[in-house]
Structure 1
Amino acid sequence: MITLIISGGLGNQMFEYAAGRALSLRHRTNLSIDLYILNKKTKATIRNYELIVFNIETPITSSIFNKIAVKGFGLLKSSNTRRILLSNTGIFRDEKAQCYDSRFKKLSEKMTLFGYFQNENYFRDISEQLRTDFTFQAPLIGRNDEIRSLIELNTSVSIHIRRGDYSNTNSNLPILDISHYKKAIEYISSQISNPYFFIFSDDIDWVKNNLDLSDSNHQFIDWNKNKNSYIDMQLMSLCKHNIIANSSFSWWGAWLNTNPDKLVIAPDKWYKGDNGIYPDGFLPKEWIVL
């Protein structure tokens, strides 16, 4: 049995699930999900379990052992001490969010995973299975179905601009400068004919005031909120090309895009202090960094 302690928003939960699913399939064992961190409802984790929007039937479990382990992890200051204690108790925590931890390939069939696992190397070999698992269950209706039709009929390009929660001074994720999007739009426009842009943002008014798209066909989408926010990812995945933010949400929107000729433009800075060089496997090799 592989147990996955889930945390974060939808994009993070998808990375975590993908790693857990890969490990469980490798050992031909079951995967279960522990919601302890989400259920804590601390200021840092005001999140809900969001994988229910997909074709996933993984059972939910709870363990007092996992609760103790998570609490203990936060009390240990030394990363070496944490690593040793966790490994000796059957819990695996990745060291860095974007980096593939080679210890993962040696894990046994009785492990609890607790971390971010934001690297395609954890799950690249089960990509097709994940595309099945990450099938959105609910059909698109109303305005979203109208947008779907436009996406399918045109040379559609999604643009994800995330600002709201990144404006928090405690966030280690910077708000991307508008120049990133202007460069990405210019590049996309030089590679394809008649692009039709679909802009997804939590601050559409700011986008309208700062990004001039008057020379291009475009649509703004900002009505999918709260429990329906996943629909933005669903629509992004249907676009033929993607311009993503430094966000696991639009990372997955682009990854789920099945167009074999897709262009995906990613920012050259994800976290504050990044130098534009990403760890191997964090971005698919075909994606373009600008």
Structure 2
Amino acid sequence: MLWLDLGGGQQQYNKNRIVVFLEGGLGNQLFHYAFCHVLKEITKKDIYLDCTEYQNTDTNPRNLEIKYFDLNIKLITTNKELSKILKVNFYFLLFKKFVNKINIKCFKKKIFYPVNKQKIIFYPHLHYKNIYELSFDIKNRIYIYGEYLWHFSNFIPFRYFFINTLYPKINLDSKNNMIYEKIKSSKNSCMIHVRRGDFVGIYELLDMDYYKMAMEIMREKYSDISFFVFGNDFDFMQENFIDDDCNVININNESKVIFDFVLMQSCKHKILANSTLSFWLGFLGSGDVIYKENISPSFTYSAKNLIVL
């Protein structure tokens, strides 16, 4: 057992537990989960995902959507649970989070963390070549903060596990179910993912030249192709994807990304945007997957079904 001084007296902590901070949208949540699964397989420790930031829409406006999957990692969704797992004083934890809320709003940064900084690994993807290297250097650290976008090579040995398990357990509403049935009735359905909106000024925006080239490749391979276009810029989608074989899907907003995920996952082929959500759909897909080379965020791994433009 380890001893931690957290300002509320010394408390015991089970060294066989590791808590990983969770943040971001569904694509990022899937990266965090995949990281936890690999870490659990290597270390044989109990791994938890700290999902408590999703209670606070000021610091995390995204929804906790990974909860719809059948996971083998435990989710911590309340501060009471987090204090119990980490063995920290509940009221001291609430005080830290209250101060952080003010600091994030005023200064855009945190100053407090759930446990002593000496027990935290910060941004491990920047300091370790892979998850295996990290796992051998955990020592007495019990909390991992800011891990993000590990190279897909870390997940290749577990790809079929993810393919067979990462299906959301959620019932579609009537509108989404109609689209789902249309996709399933198409012999060669192909999702097109468009990511703009919040990407403006941060990442390269994929233009229509890329999408048109990708669509022509699919049309040449499959004469009966049907495209289903998803994304967060409906005006752009409706203006540009006007061909008869295109179906623009605009029934879900940012609060219902999980519904779009189900619909996109049900498509046989994939044309990806440069987003983490797209990358996971491509990684889990068995049909043809087209993506653009040398973009950020990056998507790199080797598979027979990948077509790189």
Coarse TM-score class (shorter-chain normalised): 0.7 to 0.9
**Structure 2: tracts of 5 or more residues without a match:** 1-16, 104-108
TM-score, normalised to structure 1's length? 0.76
The answer (yes or no) to whether the contact 1:4–1:20 under 8 Å persists in 2 is yes
2:65 aligned partner, one-letter code: E
Structure 1 equivalent of residue 61 of structure 2: 46
Shift of 1:92: 5.2
Q: How does 1:1-290 map to 2 (within 5 A)?
A: 1-39=17-55, 41-42=57-58, 45-56=60-71, 58-60=74-76, 61-62=81-82, 63=86, 89-91=119-121, 93-96=123-126, 100=130, 103-108=133-138, 111-114=142-145, 115-154=147-186, 155-167=188-200, 169=201, 172-214=202-244, 217-257=245-285, 259=286, 262-271=287-296, 282-286=299-303, 287-290=306-309
Matched residues in 1 for 2:240 and 2:246: separation? Answer: 15
2:220 aligned partner, one-letter code: S
Among the aligned pairs, what percent are the same residue? 26
The answer (yes or no) to whether the contact 1:236–1:253 under 8 Å persists in 2 is yes
SS at match of 2:300: coil
Aligned length: 260
2:264 aligned partner, one-letter code: M
Report the CA distance shift for 1:27/1:134 in structure 2 as closer, same or farther (over 3 A).
Answer: same
Deviations 1:126-163 (A, max 9, x none): 23333454221113342322222222222000001122
Matched residues in 2 for 1:102 and 1:25: separation? Answer: 10
Deviations 1:170-213 (A, max 9, x none): xx222211111111111222222311000012222322222342
1:32 aligned partner, one-letter code: Y
TM-score, normalised to structure 2's length? 0.72
Shift of 1:235: 1.1
**Structure 1: tracts of 5 or more residues without a match:** 77-84
Shift of 1:264: 0.7
Q: Which has the larger radius of gyration?
A: 2
Structure 2 equivalent of residue 81 of structure 1: none
Question: How big is the alpha-carbon RMSD for the aligned residues of Structure 1 and Structure 2?
Answer: 3.2
Matched residues in 2 for 1:111 and 1:162: separation? Answer: 35
Deviations 1:64-108 (A, max 9, x none): 69979x99xx689xxxxxxxx97x6352523449x7466235244
Structure 1 equivalent of residue 6 of structure 2: none
Shift of 1:249: 1.2
